[in-house]
């Protein structure tokens, strides 16, 4: 494995890790703060991808296209969706115990899959990359790296830094972190917990949908795509420590590397590596690497 292949595989790992982080970040916040295990979080990733596919023609019709405008449009739609879902469904889940939350959100996955199948059908679709991003960078005579994947990593990193700033520098961020450590205390301090939940949930949905949108041209859009990434994201959340954003970030990158390099060196057991990693970490630190709120 010469230097360039190693460089490319590292870039692949970082890109996959960052993508996982976006979906896992929402999951860990929602679980950490609202105490809700949301199995349906993978479906938001799928909804994001289908938004990128579905909105592209509409947006090109109205505003004359532009990849970025479609993304922004999709982001707004997913925030509204998140806001509505929290009000209509998730607010009933807070008092329920984990077992009932697991089952009700499992039912929600089935509903999302079928509504998508009714609206958009079950075929596999490609999503057009914008032209200015569809080339590839020439590393050496043979090796190239698609610029779009660099774009994905860039956008994901941008969002991660944005979240870091919001969480550590703003009042809202402080409320969120307090909520994830001790929900009752935050409530008793007079913080409008209802508003906080809605903001956290809506942004969790939006970030996961964004990840779906930005990844759609690479992963293409197919039925059931949300469920594969859901399991991996749970692994990320649990390894990182529930309710900890830093944990989710470190764990997502860790899994990005283990999975990508696993496929290269040990293709036979690549699928199993991630779970071995999780089992080992959990047995060494039964409640994840970092404390909630970090």
111 versus 166: smaller Cβ distance to other proteins: 111
Enumerate residues 6+ apart whose C-beta is below 8 A from 238: 278, 282, 288
CB of 39 to other proteins, least distance (A): 8
**Maximum alpha-carbon separation in the chain:** 64
CB of 210 to other proteins, least distance (A): 19
Tokens 């994001």 found at: 48
CA distance 103 to 207: 24
175 versus 240: smaller Cβ distance to other proteins: 240
CB of 259 to other proteins, least distance (A): 10
CB of 179 to other proteins, least distance (A): 17
CA–CA–CA angle 114, 231, 289 (5° rounding)? 150
Q: Which of 232, 206, 197, 207 has the alpha carbon at shortest distance from 36?
A: 197
Strands of 115-225, DSSP E: 136-138, 144-146
102 versus 174: smaller Cβ distance to other proteins: 102
Q: Which of 209, 176, 175, 181 has the alpha carbon at shortest distance from 83?
A: 209
CB of 65 to other proteins, least distance (A): 19
Is the separation of the CB atoms in 290 and 247 below 8 Å? yes
CB of 162 to other proteins, least distance (A): 26
CA–CA–CA angle 273, 206, 101 (5° rounding)? 65
Tokens 């949905």 found at: 205
175 versus 213: smaller Cβ distance to other proteins: 213
Enumerate residues 6+ apart whose C-beta is below 8 A from 210: 22, 48, 71, 74, 75, 78, 155, 159
CB of 169 to other proteins, least distance (A): 28
68 versus 269: smaller Cβ distance to other proteins: 269
113 versus 175: smaller Cβ distance to other proteins: 113
Q: Which of 158, 178, 157 has the alpha carbon at shortest distance from 167?
A: 178
Q: Which residues pair with 144 in a beta bridge?
A: 138
CB of 36 to other proteins, least distance (A): 11
Residues that bind other proteins (CB under 8 A): 1-2, 4-5, 8-9, 12, 31, 37, 92, 97-100, 102-104, 106-111, 113-115, 117-118, 121-126, 134, 136, 142-144, 146, 149, 218-220, 222-223, 231, 234-235, 238, 242, 260, 263-264, 267-272, 275-276, 278-279, 282-283, 286-288
59 versus 109: smaller Cβ distance to other proteins: 109
99 versus 171: smaller Cβ distance to other proteins: 99
């Amino acid at each position: 494995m010469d230097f360039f292949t190693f460089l490319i595989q590292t870039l692949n790992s970082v890109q996959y890790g960052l993508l996982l982080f976006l979906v896992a970040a929402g999951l860990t916040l929602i679980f950490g703060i609202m105490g809700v295990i949301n199995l349906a979080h993978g479906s938001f990733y799928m909804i994001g991808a289908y938004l990128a596919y579905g909105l592209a023609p509409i947006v090109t019709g109205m505003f004359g296209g532009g990849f970025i405008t479609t993304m922004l449009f999709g982001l707004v739609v997913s925030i509204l969706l998140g806001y509505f879902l929290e009000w209509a469904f998730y607010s009933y889940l807070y008092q329920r115990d984990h077992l009932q939350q697991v089952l009700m959100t499992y039912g929600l996955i089935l509903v999302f899959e079928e509504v998508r199948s009714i609206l958009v059908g079950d075929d596999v679709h490609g999503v057009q990359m914008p032209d200015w991003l569809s080339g590839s960078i020439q590393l050496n005579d043979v090796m190239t790296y698609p610029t779009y994947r660099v774009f994905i990593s860039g956008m994901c990193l941008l969002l991660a830094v944005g979240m870091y700033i919001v969480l550590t520098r703003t009042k809202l961020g402080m409320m969120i972190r307090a909520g994830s450590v001790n929900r009752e205390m935050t409530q008793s301090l007079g913080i409008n917990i209802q508003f906080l939940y809605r903001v956290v949930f809506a942004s969790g949905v939006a970030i996961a949908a964004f990840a779906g949108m930005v990844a759609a041209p690479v992963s293409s859009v197919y039925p059931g795509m949300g469920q594969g990434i859901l399991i991996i994201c749970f692994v990320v959340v649990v390894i990182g420590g529930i309710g900890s954003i830093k944990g989710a970030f470190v764990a997502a990158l860790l899994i990005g590397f283990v999975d990508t390099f696993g496929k290269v060196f040990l293709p036979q057991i690549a699928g199993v590596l991630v779970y071995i990693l999780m089992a080992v970490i959990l047995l060494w630190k039964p409640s994840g690497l970092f404390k909630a709120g970090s």
